[in-house]
Structure 1
Amino acid sequence: MERIPTIDIAPLMQENHPDHGKTVQQVMDACTGIGFLSITGTGIPSELVERVRACVRAIFDVDEASKWQQAITRENYRGYIPMGFFTPNDGSGHADKYEGYKLHHEVAEDAPIRRDCALYGPNLWPAEVPDAQGIILEYWARLDQVADSLLGALETGLELPSDSLRNAFRDPLTNMTLLHYPPQAPEDGGYGIHPHKDTDALTIIAPDPVGGLEVQTRGGGWITPDCPNGGFVVNIGDMLELWSGGRLKSTPHRVVNRSGKERYSFPYFAVPRHDVVVSPLLPPLPGFDRPSVHCGHWSAEIWRTNWSDETAAEDTPELGTLHD
């Protein structure tokens, strides 16, 4: 598949909808073909998306000193990610051209699950943008519903038992990254975000009007999703590729912002509960040979190896890095 299809997923919300089966097949064709799809019919109002976008702009407009006070640490991967702070996990040493703000599944300080996994906890919310928490968590809850519907469609399409995927997302490690990409000069090399595959199960993003997201086709070229207003771009991550035994495709993509404008983005990354072990639920396709991964360990290693002085260990899972 050399193009990214647009699919109205409204029929997925009703199992008895006359187009339910047809829509499941459309989702499967996209996810086994190019691994990306544009979706409409989510029920998420455009006004909510624009409120989130305004919050993201406001968060990055906070003065630099205040943002640094909420910077991520090795002990708490939540909060502000300064411009050029991280280099790719492939060890290339070329910092990506973005600043970010990391949010995780919101859990109270005294939540029992925190005794089992240190990755859970409350987020840092900038006091300068008091509406951010309510607006973003409302949006997040709506995306949880969309992700659940898509996972249900994939269960049906892969002929898996009902809830065999969805049950893994109760008390999940789902997270969001708020992103700001300044414009890159035409002669400026490097990327907003380097070519990579997502390490989660499912990514959902409201495209920024500025553009800049590019997806690699099976033929090796790069294309831009043609997503209609009010739609979302969805892609398969490594976890679903592994669960499906290689049937669902985790596809390389990148961001390059040469628009001359500021670009803002806020992708949602669906990640299972910390104690879920992801392994093929179907016989792997010929040539697909990847070890099982523990979601809590995988997630912890992603955060740890983002620091430039940390290296992968023998038990570090593959983290979406592309190899020549």
Structure 2
Amino acid sequence: MTDRALPVVDMSLLDGDDTDRARFRATLLDAAHHVGFFYLVGHGVSDETIEKMFAVTREFFALDDEAKRAVEMTKSPQFRGYTRFGGEYTQGQIDWREQIDIAAHYPPLEGDDDFLVLDGPNLWPAELPELQTAVGEWQERCGAIGLRLMREWADALGAPRDVFDAGFAERPSTLIKLVKYPGRDSPDKQGVGAHKDPGVLTLLMIEPGKGGLQVQGPGGWSDIDPLPGAFVVNIGELMEWATDGYLTATMHRVVSPPAGDSRLSIPFFFNPALSSTMAHLDLPADLLAAARGVTDDPDNAISGTFGENMLKARLRAHPDVARIHHPHLV
């Protein structure tokens, strides 16, 4: 990958004729195979809706410390809620950001799988009741986009269009983060460290005009600036697993803004049910020949079961929550 902008994939082509839809699938597949990241335009989410989501995000971070810490993640066995600056880790190093994690809300299930501890309620700040409404609407819009992308990928990969649907039919494990990166003059500029996402795909909306996202390619790290109104989409480890590495889960990170500035972002993680096993595709011969295999990392083995991937990521990122609520898992 070079320092050029990410590929642009136009979802409005799906509302055109057969030629337009075929062009969309070809562009989608090429971007996901060669880069693992792309800009998604034509997705149907209005500028007004995007600004509304950023407005409520700003309102949340403007709450006083007492209000935010009333919903702190250390109170949640499900790893939901607010994390203060320096409260999350990537590759053992502190990420310098504050955020609130809000996931799909389901009654806990009984079972022997450790990852079932991740299902449960969210923590909502009493001082900002409109947050729950705004997040619910964003979750619904992004979930519909995510499922549509999955069906187009399936088609482009030579599989039935509904091959991935079963994992999302009941209890999809979606997650929204509202994130604020403060400006720093420290030589340690880790806003969030280098990582791959553990699930299927991420729809990221970045505050207009704010850089900091970097994506790793063959030539090193490339700066990715926001494209107005576009989602930045990236592939997670489950899509790499499902396609024997034909689709790429790409390392990425965020560098802190300069001192005196800040940066907001809203990632939506589109993931199947915790207990679901991802469909493993029988790729056509030409695609299989270009598949690179699943990343072999003994410190980060990729499982086809989403819950196993997610629990591993949560325990590493939030060791304080793990020690308080799940000492038997650390």
Could you state the TM-score of these two structures normalised by the residue count of structure 1?
Answer: 0.86
Question: Which one has the bigger helix percentage?
Answer: 2
1:181 matched residue in structure 2: 181
1:281 matched residue in structure 2: 281
Q: Which amino acid aligns with 2:109?
A: R
> Structure 1, residues 162-216: CA drift from partner, whole Å, max 9, x if none?
211233122211111111111122x532311111111111000112122211111
Q: In 1, distance between residues paired with 2:293 and 2:270?
A: 26
Distance 1:216 1:182, change over 3 A: same
User: In the TM superposition, what are the counterparts of 1:168-207 in structure 2 within 5 Å?
Assistant: 168-170=167-169, 171-185=171-185, 187-207=186-206
Q: In 2, distance between residues paired with 1:184 and 1:282?
A: 47
Equivalent of 1:303 in 314, 321, 326: 314
Alpha-carbon offset, residue 257 of structure 1 = 2.7
Equivalent of 1:77 in 69, 76, 79: 79
Alpha-carbon offset, residue 51 of structure 1 = 0.9
User: In the TM superposition, what are the counterparts of 1:71-150 in structure 2 within 5 Å?
Assistant: 71-73=72-74, 75-88=77-90, 90-91=91-92, 94-107=93-106, 111=107, 114-115=109-110, 117-150=116-149
Q: In 1, distance between residues paired with 2:295 and 2:232?
A: 28
SS of residue in 1 equivalent to 2:40: strand
Conserved? CA contact 1:242–1:279, under 8 Å: no
Q: Which amino acid aligns with 1:11?
A: L
2:11 matched residue in structure 1: 9
Q: In 1, distance between residues paired with 2:52 and 2:59?
A: 11
> Structure 1, residues 122-170: CA drift from partner, whole Å, max 9, x if none?
3211111121111111111111111111111110111112211233122
1:49 matched residue in structure 2: 50
Worse overlay, 67-76 or 235-244: 67-76
> Structure 1, residues 76-123: CA drift from partner, whole Å, max 9, x if none?
3111111101222x23xx31110110100133xxx4x63453422232
Question: Which one has the bigger strand percentage?
Answer: 2
2:223 matched residue in structure 1: 223
> Structure 1, residues 251-282: CA drift from partner, whole Å, max 9, x if none?
11111133442211110011111221236323
Equivalent pairs counted in the alignment come to 302
Q: In 2, distance between residues paired with 1:215 and 1:64?
A: 33
Q: In 2, distance between residues paired with 1:129 and 1:302?
A: 29
2:24 matched residue in structure 1: 23
Unmatched 5+ stretches in structure 2? 297-301, 324-328
Q: Cα RMSD (Å) of the superposition?
A: 2.3
Distance 1:304 1:45, change over 3 A: same
1:245 matched residue in structure 2: 244
Identity percentage of aligned residues: 30
Distance 1:19 1:287, change over 3 A: closer
Conserved? CA contact 1:193–1:255, under 8 Å: yes
Q: In 2, distance between residues paired with 1:151 and 1:57?
A: 31
Conserved? CA contact 1:277–1:294, under 8 Å: yes
Q: Which amino acid aligns with 1:212?
A: G
1:254 matched residue in structure 2: 253
Q: In 1, distance between residues paired with 2:110 and 2:100?
A: 25
